[in-house]
Chain A
Amino acid sequence: MIQVSDLTKDYGARRALHSISFDANQGEIVGFLGPNGAGKTTTMRILAGYMPPTDGTATVAGYDVVEESFEVRRRVGYLPETVPLYNDMTALEYLKFMADLRHIPNSRERANETLEKVNLQDRANGYIANFSKGMRQRIGLAQALIHRPEVLILDEPTIGLDPAQVVEMRSVIKEIGKDRTVLLSTHILSEAQQMCDRVLIINKGQIVAEDTPENLQSRLVGSQRVVLRVRGDADGLDAAVKKVKGTRGVEVKPDETVEFEFSSGQDVRPQVAKAVIQAGYELI
């Protein structure tokens, strides 16, 4: 659904994206994880047809974002980071305006339906100026959904919400993500884990890792440190532990303990225990 290859974007002399490549398949929820200023918003803006890249290509739903920007914009629902709302309008007026811009027949009906999807039907005639942050975020999401797009691009959809609203927003996104492709950005690891099928980690304009949330967890936590206490002469203990593949940073302390690290993907504790005992130490 989304294919990005060697996408590069310069803002003047500053390079915001360094030829990134990735893709997202039909029905997949892909998370963009990274600190602020990493290039998440830039990538999403390019994919939504807001601005062209400096170099590289991207296609969304089979259309090139530069050459066929119009076709892309028809098929993408986009929620920018600063939720774009008109404070002088009511929720219904706003969604009807967006539906009219997208040439949706019976726009008023569609606006009402979409309000129901984000649970705002009882505030349809409330002015957006009086809405809470969570409601504003939901109305922004409704705007992105109004034309039932094949692809949804959500830039920090849960930022600034209180915990209850975050939970609600996540469940709404999971629900609508069941039958379409969703690309969302966040800087919260646990959020990416909960919501996404696949996570791309982006930093300083480059994709540094791409994996499922489960694998990512272990990669990000990195290595685990284990402390063993043994009885016996500490000489040669480090050699015994080092023999086991996957251990590193072995350190023998004077109080007959040994510390070592292993990467959390592969648990080597049983092998280490065996090696220690075989070397003639007592494990306590």
Chain B
Amino acid sequence: MRNIWTIAKREYDYYFTSPVAYVAAFLILFVLGIFFAIDLLQFQQYSFQDLSSYLNTGRETGILPFLFVFLIPALTMRLVSDENRTGTMELLLTAPVRDWELILGKWAGGFLFILTVIAVTLIYPILLNRMVDPGIDWRQLASSYLGVILLAAAFLGLGVGISAMFVNQIAAFIVSFLTFVFLYWVVGIPANLPITGGNVFSYLSMSNHFSDLSEGVINLSAVVYYSSLTFLGLFLGTLSIEVRRWR
């Protein structure tokens, strides 16, 4: 546990010295801010009652997955690959740290950073809540945020796993990005075709689970789905470290 925290803290601190992380955080907050402003302008034409009902669709958090698909690979690409490139991996692998602790620590560092950025976005619903009567639906908001957090966890897990397979961070970025595009948009497409077993593809799609959560429906299958993807990524990362040792 202590090793995980030591590594997570190092990565978390690193993000605050890294221009890539600042750009990612800036883009998330900036794009959300623009959407927030546009929504407010549009709703001035309607009544405030409508504004409150509009919020129930959770559109604001709907933009986040789109941003995550290309920003999270930028946050995870160097996490492990850079240790492979600079030789510091030799340092970590000869320290009394288990391989899975290393991978979990890397993931936790990225997760804490994303949580920090997500926490800043809470400013928008808080503002909205003051502007509408009787206020926004907090339960639905909590459900959408749970979706965002689970989605970020899964993207980060896969990103760390992919980063561990590479020495070059650009390669890790591209593979992570393509994987996310596939899992979020592409894999669900066959579900709309008139074929048997279409619901399997629907279950595999990251976006389908996300839309449930953002509508306020917390179902167990979504939680299990995202947690499994996170676990899969971390497992692949640990495995690639083991493979590197034995080769």
* Chain A bound to chain B: yes
| Residues of chain A within 8 A of B89, CB atoms compared | 84
Judging by beta carbons under 8 Å apart, are A80 and B87 in contact?
yes
Given A51-B246, A52-B245, A103-B2: A84 and B86 interface contact (C-beta under 8 Å): yes
| Residues of chain B within 8 A of A78, CB atoms compared | 90, 94
| Residues of chain B within 8 A of A82, CB atoms compared | 86-87, 90
Q: From DSSP, what is the main secondary structure of chain B's interface residues?
A: helix
| Residues of chain A within 8 A of B10, CB atoms compared | 97
Tell me, in angstroms, the Cα distance from A51 to B10 when the chains sit together. 25
Interface string of A80-91 (1 = CB under 8 A from B): 101111101000
Judging by beta carbons under 8 Å apart, are B96 and A70 in contact?
yes
Given A11-B247, A85-B88, A88-B17: A50 and B95 interface contact (C-beta under 8 Å): no
| Residues of chain A within 8 A of B98, CB atoms compared | 70
Q: How large is the interface on B (under 10, 10 to 19, 20 to 34, 35 or more residues)?
A: 20 to 34
Nearest CB in chain A to that of B105: its residue: A101
Given A88-B14, A88-B17, A103-B2: A73 and B245 interface contact (C-beta under 8 Å): no
CB of A139, distance to nearest CB on chain B (Å): 12
Judging by beta carbons under 8 Å apart, are B87 and A73 in contact?
no
Given A88-B14, A101-B3: A50 and B88 interface contact (C-beta under 8 Å): no
Q: Give the contacts of B209-247 with A (CB-CB under 8 A).
A: 245-247
Q: How large is the interface on A (under 10, 10 to 19, 20 to 34, 35 or more residues)?
A: 20 to 34
Contact of B90 among A70, A84, A100, A102 (CB under 8 A): A84
CB of B5, distance to nearest CB on chain A (Å): 9
Tell me, in angstroms, the Cα distance from A100 to B2 when the chains sit together. 8
Judging by beta carbons under 8 Å apart, are A101 and B6 in contact?
yes
Q: Give the contacts of B157-202 with A (CB-CB under 8 A).
A: none
| Residues of chain B within 8 A of A84, CB atoms compared | 86-91
Judging by beta carbons under 8 Å apart, are A80 and B91 in contact?
yes
Given A51-B246, A52-B246: A102 and B96 interface contact (C-beta under 8 Å): yes
Please list the residues of chain A having a beta carbon within 8 angstroms of any beta carbon in chain B: 11, 45, 48-52, 70, 73-74, 76, 78, 80, 82-86, 88, 97-98, 100-103, 143
Q: Pick 27 A–B contacts, CB within 8 A, sort by A.
A: A11-B247, A49-B94, A50-B94, A50-B245, A52-B245, A52-B246, A73-B94, A73-B95, A73-B96, A76-B94, A78-B94, A80-B87, A80-B90, A80-B94, A82-B86, A82-B87, A84-B86, A84-B91, A85-B88, A88-B17, A97-B6, A98-B91, A100-B6, A101-B3, A101-B7, A101-B97, A102-B96
With A50-B94, A98-B95, A100-B6 given, can you name 9 additional A-B contacts, CB distance below 8 Å?
Answer: A49-B93, A51-B246, A80-B91, A82-B90, A84-B86, A84-B90, A97-B6, A100-B2, A102-B95
Please list the residues of chain B having a beta carbon within 8 angstroms of any beta carbon in chain A: 2-3, 6-7, 10, 14, 17, 86-98, 245-247
